Amino acid sequence: MSQPARRATTAPRATTAQRSTAPRRDTGTRSAHRGRARPPAGTPRMRDAPQELIPVLVAETSPRTSQLSPRAACLQATQRAEQVHGLPTGLLTAIALAESGLHAYALSIGGRAHFPETEEAARALVDGAAPRRSIMAGCVQVNARVHARNSHWPLNPDASADWAGGMMARWARETGSWSTALRRWHGGSPASTQRLVCRVKAKMEVTSPGSDVFDDWSCNTGHAERTRRNGAVHLATAQRQTQ
């Protein structure tokens, strides 16, 4: 995700107890770039400031997750978050495939990718990074400098997937469009929505074959096939390691 707009002085906490009932089908065709779908009457407007909704502090990764490989841990976390927040099956897992290759401890430090095998090794890399270097961390690649405010929670796959699932559900409920929610999640401009949606759509063809969430979007077939194959490899690895 890119850096959001402004930062509030008071940051309310989001919890997994805040459940969302989000739209099941995307209404974000290309025409939605010009005029977004209207939310139901009374739906509160949420500012584009996801750092204000930090997850409940989790000191360590749950024992259930810590015993798994990085990809298996990320897979279980995203699948759980999809159920908790009412996301379409496979959507958050597809986002994680696109962002980190479905790796719980993946890091991008100053644009350079790292895939440490343990949370401890990932924490050491984060702590040792130069202060001015950007850091995208974890299963869904949270901006550790901005959203996490230099804490380690993005490396907890359960916490980061829960946070991402909550943000996606709230934005989709507000806009009526999963594609618009995806753009907000990634921090991109409306012009970048086609690329973002097509990338996640290709991954979703692996995580949830037959899904109609992004059916209204037309994507480059050749590029989608390469993206799909890559996603299939990582998903198969994660599934094998959960057994």
In tens digits, what is the pLDDT along the chain, a chain of 243 residues? 544 443 333 333 443 333 444 454 444 434 333 333 444 444 444 444 444 455 544 444 555 556 899 999 999 999 999 999 999 999 999 999 999 999 999 999 999 999 999 999 999 999 999 999 999 999 999 999 988 887 899 999 999 999 999 999 999 999 999 999 999 888 877 778 899 999 999 999 999 999 999 999 999 888 999 999 999 999 999 999 987
Question: Please, are residues 202 and 228 in contact by the beta-carbon 8 Å criterion?
Answer: yes
Q: Are 180 and 23 in contact (CB under 8 A)?
A: no
Cα 161 → chain centroid: 7
Helix (H, G, I), strand (E, B) or coil at 15: coil
Long-range Cβ pairs for the range 229-236 (8 Å, 24+): 230/101, 231/94, 231/97, 231/98, 231/202, 231/203, 231/206, 231/207, 232/206, 234/71, 234/97, 234/101, 234/102, 234/103, 235/75, 235/93, 235/97, 235/102, 235/206, 235/207
Distance CA(100)–CA(107), nearest Å, equals 8
